[in-house]
Amino acid sequence: MRADLHIHTTASDGTWTPAELVQQAQAVGLGALAVTDHDSVANVAEVASLARAVGLRFLPAAEICSTKADLSFHILGYGIDITNKPLLELMQHNEDLLAQKDVDSIRLLERDGWAVSSAEFARYDYDRRRGGWRALAYLIDKGLCTGVNDFFKRIFTPEHDLGFPEFPPISEVISAIHGAGGVALCAHAASGFHGPGLERVMDLLRVEPLDGFECYHSGHSKEGTERLLRHCHKHNLLISGGSDCHGTFVPGRSLGEPFVDTSMLDLGGLL
């Protein structure tokens, strides 16, 4: 059956509520899905209930931030116990880091003469159904940013002393996922997210106890997908895939694309 195992909702930076996501999943013909919000499982139980009520297979999951060699990596945890305390504490730690990064980002832009105010930002709130995160929404509302791509291209850069926080190491994230009964796969390794290219990423990850890789992803080239598939088949690793859809937030990412069928995946019997 058609599957999408990388989807974001309003629990992180997506625009869809659980009900909207399930409706969209039915509309595009998905038979199986996973919600993989960044460092959050807040919407997992509700999506699970709604999905199963309409006959969709559902896999509890999360996408957890980690850091290695000054690079950010996203680790997908599938089949996790969403009540596991150590895992919840790790994700809360990451959410706190990101919330502080929002505050620090506005402070640094204010220091550099941008038309922003830390005091104003402290009072600022936004509708989570817009997608994204607080600092991005604030900059858009101030007329200083046009969207997520503009933010990462022109604002969230080393020139402004801005970058991702130092998240827990990959091994710690994997351990937490395993402790919650799940499997740990590296997300979008062949995309441009990591920076140094797929071969350097694979070198960095060689010593990490990952269970597998997200081989199919909206940001992967055909060559990148094939490289990851060869690696997983050679080393008997698990294979996942998904759109990384954020609802209407991230341009160019649509639910169910690239096409992934459950026969193309291997999640060790979880699906």
Average pLDDT, the chain: 96
What is the model's pLDDT at position 133? 97
- Per residue in 78-110, pLDDT tens? 999 999 999 999 999 999 999 999 999 999 999
What is the model's pLDDT at position 224? 96
Whether 116 shows a pLDDT value over 80: the answer reads yes
Tokens standing for residue 245: 């859809």
Tokens standing for residue 181: 């009964």
- Pairing state between β 183-186 and 71-78: antiparallel
- Per residue in 219-243, pLDDT tens? 999 999 999 999 999 999 999 999 9
- Per residue in 136-145, pLDDT tens? 999 999 999 9
Q: Within a 10 A sphere around the Cβ of 187, how many other Cβ atoms?
A: 22
Could you tell me which residues come within 8 angstroms of residue 113 by beta carbon, excluding any fewer than 6 positions away? none
Calpha distance 110→207 (Å, rounded): 41
- Per residue in 201-220, pLDDT tens? 999 999 999 999 999 999 99
Of all residues in the chain, the percent with pLDDT exceeding 90 is 95
- Per residue in 1-29, pLDDT tens? 999 999 999 999 999 999 999 999 999 99
**Position 196 confidence tier, pLDDT thresholds 50, 70, 90:** confident
Helix 222-234 / helix 198-205 crossing angle, nearest 10 deg: 20
Mean local confidence (pLDDT), 144-159: 94
Largest CA distance in the chain: 54
Mean local confidence (pLDDT), 57-73: 96
Run of H or E including 61? strand 57-68
Q: Which residues pair with 2 in a beta bridge?
A: 261
Domain 1-271 is in which class? alpha beta
Mean local confidence (pLDDT), 58-71: 96
Mean local confidence (pLDDT), 250-258: 95
Tokens standing for residue 101: 């990064």
Whether 188 shows a pLDDT value over 90: the answer reads yes
